Structure 1
Amino acid sequence: MAVPPPKVDLPDLVPMKRALFSVFDTTGALDLARALHERGVKLFGTGSTAKAIVSAGLPVINIADLIGFPEILGGRVKTLHPKVHGGLLALRNDPVHAAELIEHGIEPFDLVVSNLYPFEKTIAATTDFAHIVENIDIGGPAMTRAAAKNHGFVAILVDPADYGALLETLVAHDGATPLAYRKRLAAKAFARTAAYDAAVSTWFAAALDEPAPAWRSLGGKLAETLRYGENPHQRAAFYVTGEQRPGVATARQLQGKQLSYNNINDTDAAYELVAEFDPALAPAVAIIKHANPAGVATGASLAEAYERALLCDPVSAFGGIVALNQTLDADAARKIVEIFTEVIIAPDATEEAIAIVAAKKNLRLLVAGGLPDPRASGLTFRSVAGGFLVQDRDAGHVAAADLKVVTKRQPTAAEIADLVFAFRVAKHVKSNAIVYAKNGATVGVGAGQMSRVDSSTIAARKAAEAAKAAGLSESLAIGSVVASDAFFPFADGLLAAAEAGATAVIQPGGSMRDDLVIEAADAAGLAMVFTGVRHFRH
């Protein structure tokens, strides 16, 4: 049975007389403490926080002295005491609560300033189980939740960014906080502890190799409120989870207008794709439009890789996202800015390249500081009505040594290199996915079709159109290889690729009709390899 609400009216303005500080991150906290002291607010602090306030030359009462009990168990227990939580949870205009406060010598707190042990930073810095467990905060979340629950009387600050607004509020309301303001602070505090607990539970599940825990929580911190979502009538915001994976969430935006919802989604897709190609082996560039590659290529330089990627589909590249696997240099920058581009993302950028891009004031330039590891584990999430789906990130990786030749004709060394290249690109194309590639560059991409034959046909048509746009007499697909993200259930899709000019095929295999497809490949003189790995992306 639910607990009935108290039969008391909550006050609007609550004068601030007593403030409790318990922070791990002291950023701005001492300045806040000084400002409150100057307003006549009595300061209380826990452990190291109290010491920091004393070091700043301010009077403070240590919580250990208030409760008459020292910190114990190496600091694990310091605020879990009735004189603390009674002072946080008491309904001051409830006669029973008021009498109990007097009986037990408890005085209420009007403000709690708390931030938690840096659990998210700890798991990013170490894998030591015992060390991570020791950085799970207990007292901090308990105090935070108590103050937030009793927002009718107590203000709770969990974010240093809010310290200035509190002081402005006190000035505007003659040293008091209004109820509406305390409610907003409480909502933020509950969201913070929820995100904190989500980080803890997610880490624990991963540490125990538990893919499907009974309860799964999501938590993130607001990075920015976006102008709108996929469409102007949809509200949207961007949250970061704290995962230390280089990409759009960790990148610094050096210039350009605010990223949109679609920009962020497409930039993430572009950077994850280009990371498939080791920068130590060759420069690579991916051009993305609506989360699908318009062109991907390697080259002797980034500029050459960009030109080769652009050749695949110059029409779709207009207004696209460009991702690079190496530091953006001046030559590549000059090429990229020749057409309208929404976003450029790279591990870094030279000063000369930055200056070149700066001439396009609306073009966003992001530097991520590194590349995401395409083989690293992690989770992806997708909402459905009434719930969400969770799965491992697609860290599947196929190398030349993994390929199984299933046709009479063996692929050449050049074909094998292109087959591996094409399959890595197909991993990042919406299903059904067909990718034609030649000499380390895509020449035709068919994405998101209900039929694999349609994807083959579209990719072939794109290759012919690209050749025409480049002034070439024959389709770019002539002499190419073709990759399919999943098996060919029938020979028709494979034969469509052969008709377009492909000479070799890479696919997962595993169809009931593999034998028929292999026979068709042999009859067409194709070389075909199986990977045993599927790359659906819906």
Structure 2
Amino acid sequence: MTNLVPIGRALISVSDKSGLIELSRALASYGVELISTGGTSNMLRAAGLKVRDVAEVTGFPEMMDGRVKTLHPNIHGALLALRDDDEHLLAMAAHGIEPIDLLIVNLYPFEETVAKGADHATCIENIDIGGPAMIRAASKNHRFVTVVTDPSDYGTLIDQLKAHDGATSLAFRQKLALTAYAKTAAYDTAVSTWLAGEIKEPFPRNKSFAGTFRQGMRYGENPHQRAAFYTDGSRREGVATARQWQGKELSYNNINDTDAAFELVAEFAGGAPACAIIKHANPCGVGTAGSLREAYLRAYHCDQTSAFGGIVALNQPLDAETAEEIVKIFTEVVIAPGASDEAKAIFAAKKNLRLLTTGGLPDAKSPGWAFKQVAGGFLVQDRDFAGVPELKVVTKKAPTEAQMADLLFAWKVAKHVKSNAIVYVKDGATVGVGAGQMSRVDSTRIAARKAEDMAEALGLAASPTIGSVVASDAFFPFPDGLLTAAEAGAVAVIQPGGSMNDDKVIAAADEAGLAMVFTGQRHFRH
């Protein structure tokens, strides 16, 4: 198999022209003939480089507003011809096709155009045709052709030329071909996703997802699992777009938990200062207050044991007072829209604490997909956003205004707790969270027991669940779970309703003197 292949002719057609002149000069120094299109050729000539126009190679001018310029046998034959196949060589000679050994292409900025809110016609015009066709041709023939689709690879190409006296190695061409095929796949995914949105087709016959490599990781959830982090280009504020100010690289579990924390605290965007503390993707405390420091303390006092080594998310920029409280215990990650210089200085003394800032909160209302892999396929669904529920009071007693505020708070938190989820809330802070149990009764008991433990640790005279409200992410199938919450001291309940036993559950609530509202929506989280 051919290993080193010298580069004699290069075709350059790029929309992103960064780093191109330096690369082209390096190619020219090895005697490489440069072929280029339109604006790229003009730029290279202005830099003093000798360039041959594609139109000269094809014998046809660019036409149809540039839609047709490289779709020609003199281009694709030059890229696809096998240099060790006599019939291919004879065909090239018969038709005057000269080989192209290097293709440098990056595609029309379709995703950027869509992100800017361009109209339909402009988006269509930014769908590249010739570029992907050439990339696929060159990649298929990577035994002989080098294909570069990303300016970040220009430096590596120059290093190859220096190492091999103007040639490239097979291993290098294989790696670039892999990058190229992934690039065109991601590009087609972006176009198909946009078009599906344009015609309001949420579930087309074929659905694909694409990502861009962000970082490798030492391991995944466990040390024996390989892992990497990819971004999806959505630009949604969060861990993928955050700036890390200090601390070692985020692990797989750090990223998963930090995302869960920030999505939860985003439920309180535009409101009072709020803090969410996450452990193993579940909230162990959420609080709101008049200051960020107090919101943190209220979240922390829900479950101090679980908060150790947890993730802290804030809905407002981190200030020095809050930072002083956070560093009193070991915390893995803090994520916030911003951070003051004073807060950064306080964190600087804790070298293992990661601080991330995002510049904003993710829009909880923004559309998006959630997907989960299963054997032989994957499940796709909308991101869980149902808006503020239309509450229906179903008991004789109605919640007070203060209780209703706490019920809505509890409902927001329950959405982010693994099912079966039970959340006790009092005065704008969680006081007990029960997560991920097979029985809703067990979740109710665990949450109440945690509250009792914290009452003892804080020296409180009674459990904070007394006088609290409780949220259940799905309906109570029987009265037992609801009565367990009442025994813990809950006075009001929010739940979806919809059980065959709703009448029995409502009757039990009335008998226990509880106020209860139905939401008509549930928030399973598995």
TM-score, structure 1 normalization: 0.96
Deviation at 1:127, TM superposition (A): 5.3
Q: Summarize deviations over 1:176-222 as a string: whole Å, max 9, x none.
A: 11112111111111011111111111121122221221101111100
Q: Does 1:511 align with 2:499?
A: yes
2:2 counterpart (11, 16, 20): 11
- Where does residue 272 of structure 1 map in the other structure? 263
Q: Does 1:486 align with 2:477?
A: no
Name the CA shift for 1:440/1:390 in 2 (closer, same or farther; >3 Å): same
User: Take 2:427 and 2:123, find their aligned partners in 1: how far apart are those partners?
Assistant: 48
2:350 counterpart (355, 360, 373): 360
**Contact 2:397–2:510 under 8 Å retained in 1:** yes
Q: Does 1:64 align with 2:55?
A: yes
2:396 counterpart (405, 408, 414): 408
**Contact 1:22–1:49 under 8 Å retained in 2:** yes
Please list, as runs of the form range in 1=range in 2, the aligned pairs for 1:280-429 lying within 5 A after superposition: 281-398=271-388, 402-429=390-417
- Where does residue 231 of structure 1 map in the other structure? 222
- The secondary structure found in structure 1 opposite 2:268 is coil
Q: Does 1:245 align with 2:233?
A: no
User: Take 2:359 and 2:71, find their aligned partners in 1: how far apart are those partners?
Assistant: 42
Q: Summarize deviations over 1:40-80 as a string: whole Å, max 9, x none.
A: 11111111111121122211111122212111111111111
User: Take 1:55 and 1:431, find their aligned partners in 2: how far apart are those partners?
Assistant: 64
User: Take 1:70 and 1:529, find their aligned partners in 2: how far apart are those partners?
Assistant: 71
1:141 counterpart (128, 132, 150): 132
Q: Does 1:153 align with 2:125?
A: no
- Where does residue 187 of structure 1 map in the other structure? 178
Please list, as runs of the form range in 1=range in 2, the aligned pairs for 1:87-166 lying within 5 A after superposition: 87-126=78-117, 128-166=119-157
Deviation at 1:133, TM superposition (A): 1.6
Deviation at 1:519, TM superposition (A): 0.3
- The secondary structure found in structure 2 opposite 1:275 is helix
Matched AA of 1:492: D
- Where does residue 3 of structure 1 map in the other structure? none
Q: Does 1:431 align with 2:422?
A: no
User: Take 1:462 and 1:28, find their aligned partners in 2: how far apart are those partners?
Assistant: 58
Matched AA of 1:415: Q
Matched AA of 1:285: C
**Contact 1:456–1:497 under 8 Å retained in 2:** yes
User: Take 1:227 and 1:120, find their aligned partners in 2: how far apart are those partners?
Assistant: 31
- Where does residue 5 of structure 1 map in the other structure? none
- The secondary structure found in structure 2 opposite 1:460 is helix
TM-score, structure 2 normalization: 0.99
- The secondary structure found in structure 2 opposite 1:276 is helix
**Contact 2:371–2:379 under 8 Å retained in 1:** yes
Q: Summarize deviations over 1:90-112 as a string: whole Å, max 9, x none.
A: 00111111011111111111111
User: Take 1:128 and 1:458, find their aligned partners in 2: how far apart are those partners?
Assistant: 53
% identical equivalent positions: 66
Matched AA of 1:367: T
Q: Summarize deviations over 1:135-154 as a string: whole Å, max 9, x none.
A: 11111111111110000100
Matched AA of 1:143: M
- The secondary structure found in structure 2 opposite 1:73 is coil
- The secondary structure found in structure 2 opposite 1:300 is coil
- The secondary structure found in structure 2 opposite 1:254 is strand
Q: Does 1:450 align with 2:438?
A: yes
Matched AA of 2:413: V
- The secondary structure found in structure 2 opposite 1:296 is strand
User: Take 2:456 and 2:356, find their aligned partners in 1: how far apart are those partners?
Assistant: 33
User: Take 1:94 and 1:217, find their aligned partners in 2: how far apart are those partners?
Assistant: 36
Q: Summarize deviations over 1:310-344 as a string: whole Å, max 9, x none.
A: 00001000001000111111111111111101111
Deviation at 1:278, TM superposition (A): 2.3
State the Cα RMSD in Å. 1.0
User: Take 1:334 and 1:525, find their aligned partners in 2: how far apart are those partners?
Assistant: 43
- The secondary structure found in structure 2 opposite 1:522 is helix
Matched AA of 2:85: D
**Contact 2:393–2:517 under 8 Å retained in 1:** yes
Deviates more, 1:122-131 or 1:441-450: 122-131
Q: Does 1:76 align with 2:58?
A: no
Matched AA of 1:187: L
User: Take 1:491 and 1:221, find their aligned partners in 2: how far apart are those partners?
Assistant: 49
**Contact 1:124–1:244 under 8 Å retained in 2:** no
Q: Summarize deviations over 1:217-271 as a string: whole Å, max 9, x none.
A: 1111000011110001100000001012100111111111000000000000000
Q: Summarize deviations over 1:267-294 as a string: whole Å, max 9, x none.
A: 0000000000023x20110000000001
User: Take 1:445 and 1:339, find their aligned partners in 2: how far apart are those partners?
Assistant: 21
User: Take 1:458 and 1:50, find their aligned partners in 2: how far apart are those partners?
Assistant: 69
**Contact 1:467–1:476 under 8 Å retained in 2:** yes
- Where does residue 44 of structure 2 map in the other structure? 53
Q: Summarize deviations over 1:414-452 as a string: whole Å, max 9, x none.
A: 000000000000000000100000111000000001110
User: Take 1:346 and 1:247, find their aligned partners in 2: how far apart are those partners?
Assistant: 9
User: Take 1:112 and 1:483, find their aligned partners in 2: how far apart are those partners?
Assistant: 60
Q: Does 1:256 align with 2:247?
A: yes
**Contact 1:88–1:146 under 8 Å retained in 2:** yes
**Contact 2:269–2:361 under 8 Å retained in 1:** no
Question: What is the number of equivalent residue pairs in this alignment?
Answer: 526
Runs of 5+ in structure 2 lacking a partner?
Answer: none
Matched AA of 1:322: V
- The secondary structure found in structure 2 opposite 1:74 is coil
User: Take 2:372 and 2:445, find their aligned partners in 1: how far apart are those partners?
Assistant: 30
- The secondary structure found in structure 2 opposite 1:75 is coil
- The secondary structure found in structure 2 opposite 1:453 is helix
User: Take 1:267 and 1:207, find their aligned partners in 2: how far apart are those partners?
Assistant: 32
Matched AA of 2:137: A
Runs of 5+ in structure 1 lacking a partner?
Answer: 1-9
